[in-house]
Structure 1
Amino acid sequence: MRAFIFPGQGSQKVGMGVELAGASQAARDVFGEVDEALGQHLFKLMAEGPDDQLTMTANAQPAIMANSIAVLRTMGIDLADKGQSVAGHSLGEYSALCGAGTFALAETARLLRIRGDAMQAAVPVGVGSMAALLGVDIAKAEEIAAACAEGDVCEVANDNDPGQVVLSGHLVAIDRVVERAKEMGAKRAIKLPVSAPFHCSLMQPAADRMAEALSGASINEPCVPLFANVTAAAGDDVDAIRAQLVEQVTGRVRWRECVAAMADAGVTQFVELGGKVLGPMVKKIAPDAETVSIVTMDDIEAFAKEM
């Protein structure tokens, strides 16, 4: 069994999609449609930068999605024909749902622009932060978060793999995490270069904004089940998906559990579309699974020979 997986924020880089657009009309059509939906030359920003503008949450989120969908459409495959499930890391969940037919491409781009703007505006710059804990499991990460909160918000944001958990919350609490994590059993704590504390309760204003945006969005049942970030369980009910996308803004990205659940359901091959960041996590969670990362035309052609 095969699952298609979609990367999240942090996988963006200047030059993304350029090689693909040069070789594929399907890719060019995707980038053009996203530009039109947003009223912005987003692909020019993806191609040329500057990096600080591409990294802005409101740009990075639709750009990463557009790149993933450009790869998928260049492949020319039907997910329901070639795979049994989809999943995405944080914003990648929107890419997965777009690929599975739940949202139209233009609708996905608009939703991600709203999501990016709302997440950036939810907390003033300098108030929140995030840190990655390395060499800890989820139980130890929860212990460190609780000990360093001291009345501030300090919560697990991403449970990425058996040795990497990301915490999110108030800057002062995350600073305490970085200072104390090693003595509390972590191999290392690294403050992340992010502009807001994603996936924690401080994001509630953004969740409220997404509830409003999603209530008016056209949504279809996905052609294959989605393993949702907040439940790590498969589903295709449109009302549940809508609610999960709202909950996801403040909720934990249960990526380790998602991959484990897909593996338990019989998935033996994980195909990452548009990035090379999820494959290494998958191998740590499901060592016996095959991972494939597809970004370039060479990747696409090589995969086509295997199918």
Structure 2
Amino acid sequence: MSRAFVFPGQGAQTIGMGRALAEAYPAAKAVFDEVDDALSEKLSALIWEGSIEDLTLTRNAQPALMATSIAALRALEAEGVGIEAASFVAGHSLGEYSALCAAGSLGLADTARLLRVRGTAMQEAVPVGIGAMAALLGLDFEAATAVAAEAAQGEVCQAANDNDPGQVVVSGHKGAVERALEIAKARGAKRAILLPVSAPFHCSLMQPAAAIMSEALSAVEISAPKVPVVVNVRAEAVSGPDRIRALLVAQVTGSVRWRESVLWMEQAGVTEFWEIGAGKALSGMIRRIAKDSATRAVGSPEDVKGAVEALG
């Protein structure tokens, strides 16, 4: 049986995530301590005792979710299950950074600092109220792309996240995204809803953030991953450090090709996906994409024990 470790993106954050891992496993606690040091602030206190409003701010949510994922991985390692148990790693948007850290391409402190820069840059790339994102449910990627093109009318409107066969997120100028809602409904979408996000991620309006990330990534060492990383913008495995660096920049404005990434892994022989970190959103998507695959969420000490026992 071939398995992939996958890492969640923004939206999975909850107050208290990772705390039980840190209390049960010194190696997990060390992750949160190192991230706190790297950011020169007690992000762990915000994660465990803060307000969900503050945690949901992009600049906080991104390093917080990564820290929780790597803490879960360290707990697995403490039980004897390392990254070599996976044939591939992949992550949804910011989760790609977690995947690269898990695979040894990026150091933990560097990853935390990069995600703080990325989160801040994405937050500030577009003034509040100018952009929006919407989920189109019941349309495939091709249909959603056509909806976005029709809705643009000289503004930006792009298919940003190809999450699963019936869920595509569009991103761009607020007026264009609102037009996309009506066009999608007219074209048979089951639902079309604006998302509670602070900026229009993964579209060309994020170009200022891409420029900032290009500079930030140029100053960081990237190693070849210990296991291949299936990247969002290519939906295939990549292992060259320079290629990884370039694709992380492209990812800021490019589509998250999650559905295609999961299909690529399935075709490469993956039969089991472990979601490492907070929540179970990716597991739900994967079950709709690769219906014969098994999924397992690993976000608590109980999950870790269960995963280890399942390996026998």
Query: Could you say whether these structures have the same fold, taking a TM-score greater than 0.5 normalized by the shorter chain as the test?
Result: yes
> Partners in 1 of 2:113 and 2:11 — Cα distance?
20
Tell me what 1:155 maps to.
158
1:79 to 72, 77, 83: 83
Distance 1:138 1:221 in 2: 32
Match of 1:174 among 163, 174, 177: 177
Q: Is the 8 A contact 2:235 2:264 kept in 1?
A: yes
Measured against aligned partners, the alpha-carbon deviations of 1:95-126 in whole angstroms (never above 9, x if no partner) come to 00000000010000000000001101110011
Residue equivalent to 2:52: 51
Q: What amino acid is the match of 1:205?
A: P
1:249-296: CA deviations, max 9, x gaps? 000000000000000000001010013110010011100011111111
User: Are 1:280 and 2:281 an aligned pair?
Assistant: no
1:66 aligns with 2:70: no
3-state secondary structure, aligned to 1:223: coil
Structure 1 CA distance, aligned partners of 2:17 and 2:274? 18
Candidates 206, 210, 229, aligned match of 2:209: 206
1:32 correspondence with 2:33: yes
In structure 2, the residue matched to 1:236 is: 239
Matched, 1:141 2:144: yes
User: What is residue 269 of structure 1 aligned with on the other side?
Assistant: 272
Deviation at 1:180, TM superposition (A): 3.2
Moved more, 182-191 or 257-266: 182-191
Give distance in 1, aligned partners of 2:33 and 2:227.
27
Distance in 2, matches of 1:190 and 1:43, equals: 32
Residue 307 of structure 2 is aligned to residue 303 of structure 1: yes
Q: Secondary structure at the match of 1:159?
A: strand
Decide which of 255, 259, 274 is 2:262's aligned counterpart.
259
* Residue identity matched to 1:47: W
Q: Is the 8 A contact 2:76 2:82 kept in 1?
A: no
Q: What's the CA shift for 1:59?
A: 0.1
- For residue 124 of structure 1, what is the amino acid of its counterpart? P
Q: Secondary structure at the match of 2:30?
A: helix
Q: Distance in 2 between matches of 1:18 and 1:170?
A: 38
Q: How many residues align?
A: 306
Matched AA of 1:265: A
* In 2, Cα distance between equivalents of 1:223 and 1:230: 20
Q: C-alpha distance in 1, partners of 2:238/2:22? A: 33
Distance 2:51 2:142 in 1: 39
Partners of 2:308 and 2:160 lie apart in 1 by 36
Query: Which of 109, 113, 123 is 1:110 aligned to?
Result: 113
Per-residue CA distance 1:120-175 (angstroms, 9 max, x = gap): 11100110010000001011101111111111100010000000000000011111
| Equivalent position SS for 2:295 | strand
Quick one: distance in 1 between partners of 2:270 and 2:142? 26
Q: Give the deviation of 1:179 after TM superposition.
A: 3.0
Deviation at 1:178, TM superposition (A): 2.2
Give the Å deviation of 1:78. Answer: 2.2
Q: Distance in 2 between matches of 1:256 and 1:181?
A: 20
CA distance in 1, matches of 2:244, 2:23: 35
Partners of 1:237 and 1:175 in 2: how far apart? 40
Q: CA RMSD in A?
A: 0.8
Residue of 119, 122, 136 corresponding to 1:119? 122
| Separation in 1, partners of 2:129, 2:182 | 18
Classify the secondary structure of the residue corresponding to 2:132.
strand
Give 1:15's aligned amino acid.
G
Q: Deviations over 1:66-118 (max 9, x none)?
A: 000000001113212x1111000000000000000000100000000000011
**Which residue does the alignment assign to 1:42?**
43
Q: Which amino acid aligns with 2:286?
A: V
Q: How far off its partner does 1:27 sit?
A: 1.3
Query: Residues of 1 paired with 2:15 and 2:178: CA distance?
Result: 30
Is the Cα–Cα contact under 8 Å of residues 160 and 203 in structure 2 kept in the other structure? yes
How far apart are the structure 2 equivalents of 1:214 and 1:290? 35
The corresponding residue for 2:23 is 22
Q: After superposing the two structures, state which structure 1 stretch, 13-22 or 243-252, moved more.
A: 13-22
* Structure 2 unmatched runs, 5+: none
> Which segment is superposed worse, 244-253 or 13-22?
13-22
